[in-house]
Amino acid sequence: MMTQLLLFNVTNGLIIGAFYVLMALGLSLILNLSNVINFAHGGFLVIGGYIAYTITPYIGFWGALLLAPPLTAIIGLAVERVLIRPLYGRDPLYSLLLTFGLAFMIEDGTRFIWGPQGKPVTIPAFLAQPLSNDLFFITGYRLFMVVVVMIAVALLFLLLRYTRLGVRIRAGTLDLETVAALGINVGMLRSLNFAVGIFLAGLSGVLAAGQLGLEPTMGTGLLMPSFIAIIVGGIGSLPGTLVGGLLIGVASGVTAVFFPAASEAVIYVMMAVILLTRPRGLFGEEGMMS
Amino acid sequence: MKAEHTRKLIVLAAIWVALLLAPYWMAPLGGYTALATRVLVLGLAAMSLNFLLGFTGVLSFGHAAYFGLGAYGAGLTLKFLALSTPLALVAGMLLGGLCGAILGLLIVRRRGVYFAMVTIAFGQVFYYIAFQWSSLTGGDDGLRGFSRQPIDFGAFKLDILSSANSFYYFVLFCFALAVGVMGFILRSPFGRTMIAIRENERRSRFLGIPVERHIWIAFTLSCFFMGFAGALYALVNNFADPRGLHYSQSGDFVMMAVMGGMRSFWGPLLGATVFVVLQDYLSSVTVNWMSFVGLLFVLVVLFFPRGLLGFFQRSKA
């Protein structure tokens, strides 16, 4: 029984961790290249979820899964063009405040449009079944979510490793000035990079909608753990963010078995311990923190 | 130079006269004394944050934590330890300041956005403690069951509990004290060094200034002021709220400082006045006040990045 309980919570932790990873990777991309802490990231997750909710009746769950993230990314692109672009090169304080206000507007806006009550998103029936009687907690949908996250993360890393855009993003993260001097359109690069980050937020929104249902405030709860995933993994390192997200997901899952009240506190304790022993985080590199 | 000096003195006198007479001119304008008290306390908090943000150039986005700690420190003292208002203020200030001093050690080496991120995350630690430890803090409902106590001077008693005006003047006295100390520090060689670090950190380092230690001291001092403001806030409401520690409250403080003008000493007080009055008004006329506050953030950032004072000063020049 104990092993099953433990397994149950580790699985839970991994699934939550997968969400943290998707959110944190998007945040991290934007932070590394543009030096913007996107407080509205949770808001974009909510937008993705509600778009999926709105279009599911017409094109079904699978259509929504494919279409909602790019639609969210387009909204993100517009926001970047109009609101965030004027702030590049200014004190990071300003982009922080702006996205902070934006998060307020998105939360209140979704409440205004779709109402404050939670909205369910129907998932295909065969995904809602548990896989087996012993492992009743692993429904097909949970497994499916983890697989989708894995594919998305793999594609992201392939994109960054092998495509021209990815190489430029990585180069820009290290030294944006040189990248600009080489004749690359930095404004365009930042926009595309922002869109990729928001795409990931939209995707996590669709997945979360199928698992948890939708609420205007759901993004805020995921934002802080994503910050911590980035800090724990090491600011500036995407593999670090990946490991950090999974780590804090599992840590809070396991803590929930033994000491439920501390399941949220444990991730902060982890952050403090890691910052004390490894000030740059697990995978942080020299020079990235200053 | 002489004219500049006289102008400054006149402005300073005007600010203090306006503050001293606030209970008398607020009411005819549709305000109420308790609103003036709140403005004063939140203004002090914004000025404390600006001590770090505007004068050392370090962006903390988790300062609400120390504000909230001050509030809980004062509330818990009044509820469990002693029925003494001054003691509660000191306890709140110490709790906020000491927690800030300890966490400051962990974060002073970060800069820019990374400093902001780590301060947010650590600020949330205290939010969760206040939220989860219900047996002590009242959890989600907040800490209740205490009230500010009249102050006994022996010869006479200052009834700050039932008289809104006496309480306002008590808060104004505390405000003046804190602001005086703040101004004194900023004029001291240490304050000048803070500004040097803000202007050019690398050059300060070459001059042999221990930059990390100075930032740590500035952070800690700012947390002490913040704790003091938080303790006053607990007295204002006779209540301490876990949401007072949340990072969204930190965002409001940063907004007040930026909206008023980060580069000036009194700017954050102006920002707090506009922000508090506006929020009070908006939440009374529309349920969608959150959208309007959000819009205010966006508009200030895009069109008034130097704040109201910065805007006026530039258009005058």
The per-residue pLDDT for B110 is: 78
Show residues of chain B in contact with A231, CB under 8 Å: 117-118, 121
| Cβ–Cβ below 8 Å for B113 and A96 | yes
Asked if B121's CB is within 8 angstroms of A224's CB, the reply is yes
Given CB atoms, is B99 within the 8 Å cutoff of chain A? no
Residues of A (127-146) whose Cβ lies below 8 Å from B:
none
Q: Do A92 and B59 touch (CB under 8 A)?
A: yes
B18 close contact with A: CB closer than 8 A: no
Q: Which tens digits make up the pLDDT trace of A160-199?
A: 899 998 889 888 888 888 888 888 888 889 999 999 999 9
What is the model's pLDDT at position A191?
A: 92
The pLDDT of residue B1: 60
Q: Indicate the pLDDT class of residue A289, thresholds 50, 70 and 90.
A: very low
A289 → closest Cβ in B110, B125, B288: B110
A34 to chain B: closest CA residue: B113
Going by C-alpha positions, the residue among B64, B130, B69, B136 that lies closest to residue B97 is B69
Chain A CB within 8 Å of residue B109 CB: yes
Q: Which residues on B lie below 8 Å from A103 (Cβ)? A: 294
pLDDT score for B185: 92
d(CA B233, CA B244): 10
* Phi, psi dihedrals of residue A119, rounded to the nearest 5°: -120, 130
* Residues of B in Cβ contact (< 8 Å) with A40: none
Per-residue pLDDT tens over the stretch B211-250: 888 899 999 999 999 999 999 999 888 888 888 888 888 9
Residue B90 half-sphere exposure toward CB, CA atoms < 13 A: 7
Comparing CB atoms, the residue among A101, A228, A275 nearest residue B295 is A101
Cβ distance A240 to A284 under 8 Å?
yes
Cα angle at B35 between B30 and B38, to 5 degrees? 160
* DSSP states along B263-312: TSSSHHHHHHHHHHHHHHHHHHH-TTHHHHHHHHHHHHHHH-TTHHHHHH
Mutate to test the interface with A, among B124, B131, B247 (most CBs of A within 10 A): B124
User: What is the reported pLDDT for B146?
Assistant: 79
Asked if the Cβ–Cβ distance from A105 to B61 is below 8 Å, we say no
Domain residue extents for chain B: 29-244
Mutate to test the interface with B, among A105, A264, A270, A277 (most CBs of B within 10 A): A105
CA distance A137 to A4: 10
- The answer to whether residue B317 scores a pLDDT higher than 50 is no
Is residue A273 over pLDDT 80? Answer: yes
Q: What is the pLDDT of residue B80?
A: 84
Distance (Å, rounded) from C-alpha A43 to C-alpha A205?
Answer: 9
Whether the per-residue pLDDT at A286 is higher than 60: the answer is no
Q: Does A151 touch chain B (CB under 8 A)?
A: no
Determine the pLDDT at residue A133.
Answer: 63
Per-residue pLDDT tens over the stretch A18-60: 888 999 999 999 988 888 889 899 999 999 999 988 888 888 8
Please determine, for residue B26, whether its predicted confidence score (pLDDT) is greater than 60.
Answer: yes
Indicate yes or no: CB of B290 within 8 angstroms of CB of A31: no
Query: In terms of DSSP H, where are the helices of A234-264?
Result: 238-258
Q: Does A100 touch chain B (CB under 8 A)?
A: yes
What's the pLDDT band for B287 if we cut at 50, 70, 90? Answer: confident
Q: Is A132 helix (H, G, I), strand (E, B) or coil?
A: coil
A84 touches chain B (CB under 8 A): no
Residue A275: its chain B contacts at CB < 8 A? 106-107, 118
Mean pLDDT in residue range B202-209:
87
Q: How far apart are CA A228 and CA A241, in angstroms?
A: 9
Residue B315 — pLDDT band, cuts 50, 70, 90?
low
CA B54 to chain centre: 13
- pLDDT at B14 > cutoff 70: yes
Mean pLDDT along residues B263-279: 89
How high does pLDDT run on average in chain B? 85
Size of interface A-B (CB pairs under 8 A): 119
How many C-beta neighbours within 10 Å does residue A180 have? 14
Q: List pLDDT tens digits, range B155-204.
A: 677 777 777 778 888 889 899 999 999 999 999 998 888 888 888 888 88
Residue A290 predicted with pLDDT over 60? no
Residue B129 CA from chain centroid, whole number = 21
Taking the C-alpha atoms of residue B181 and residue A288, their distance in angstroms, rounded to an integer, is 37
Give B-chain residues touching A97 at CB under 8 angstroms. 251, 254-255, 258, 297, 300-301
Q: Spell out a b/e string for A52-69, using b for 16 or more CB atoms within 10 Å of the CB, else e.
A: bbebbeeeebeebbebbb
Using a CB–CB cutoff of 8 Å, tell me whether A235 touches chain B. Answer: yes
Model ipTM value: 0.84
SS (H, E, C) B201-227: HHHHHHCCCCHHHHHHHHHHHHHHHHH
